[in-house]
């Protein structure tokens, strides 16, 4: 039996993990995140495809691709979380579970970060556990699927 495809989608500035505000986002690089998701995914029976973009349109196209293929998604929309209604509309078309993740706890940060336009169309949200948020999301997908 082949592994189930899962997308792990990352929004703006997440490719700068390890150098961007390590006190908030940790010292692990983006490559380290990719490796963690890929290794755990394999253990859970997933073929994990980790992607990162600073482009809202590209993220929307990936969400359409996931919806068309019934591919489960773990998504860290980054700053798009708070204002991208186009991304929210794309996420609402999901045909498989979609879990929103955040490395930090948005509710413990600046006021503008307290609102997620993605949360109401997601299966669930996991935030505040560092890169562990991704691991928790992948484990949640394994249980849900």
Taking alpha carbons only, the member of 101, 83, 93 closest to residue 140 is 101
Is 82 annotated in a binding site? The answer is yes
Angle in degrees, CA 103, 33, 44, rounded to 5: 100
Spatial distance between the Cα atoms of 61 and 58, rounded to a whole number of angstroms: 5
- The reply, when asked if residue 76 is annotated as ligand binding, is yes
Strand partners, 6: 48
94 is in an annotated binding site: no
Was 51 annotated as part of a binding site?
A: no
Contact 89, 63 (CB under 8 A): no
Consult the annotation and say whether 89 binds a ligand.
Answer: yes
To the query of whether residue 102 is one of the catalytic residues in this protein, the response is: yes
Q: Does residue 25 carry a catalytic annotation?
A: yes
Q: Burial, 78: exposed, middle or buried (Cβ in 10 Å; 0-12, 13-18, 19+)? A: buried
83, 85, 102, 114: which one is catalytic? Answer: 102
Active-site option among 7, 25, 64, 114: 25
Closest CA to 131 of 104, 106, 93: 104
- 105 marked as binding residue: no
Residues forming the annotated binding site for substrate? 76, 82, 89, 103-104, 113
Catalytic machinery residues = 25, 102
Residues forming the annotated binding site? 76, 82, 89, 103-104, 113
């Amino acid at each position: 039996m082949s592994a189930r495809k899962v997308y792990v989608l990352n929004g703006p500035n997440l490719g700068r993990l390890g150098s961007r505000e390590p006190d908030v986002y940790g010292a692990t690089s983006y490559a380290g995140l990719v490796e963690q998701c890929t290794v755990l995914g394999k253990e859970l029976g997933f073929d994990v495809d980790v992607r990162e973009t600073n482009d809202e349109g590209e993220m929307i196209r990936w969400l359409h691709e996931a919806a068309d293929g019934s591919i489960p998604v773990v998504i860290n929309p980054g700053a798009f979380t708070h204002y991208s209604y186009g991304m929210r509309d794309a996420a609402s078309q999901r045909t498989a579970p979609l879990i929103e993740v955040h490395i930090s706890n948005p509710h413990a940060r600046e006021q503008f970060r307290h609102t997620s336009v993605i949360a109401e169309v997601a299966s669930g949200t996991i935030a505040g556990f560092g890169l562990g948020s991704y691991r928790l999301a992948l484990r949640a997908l394994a249980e849900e699927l």
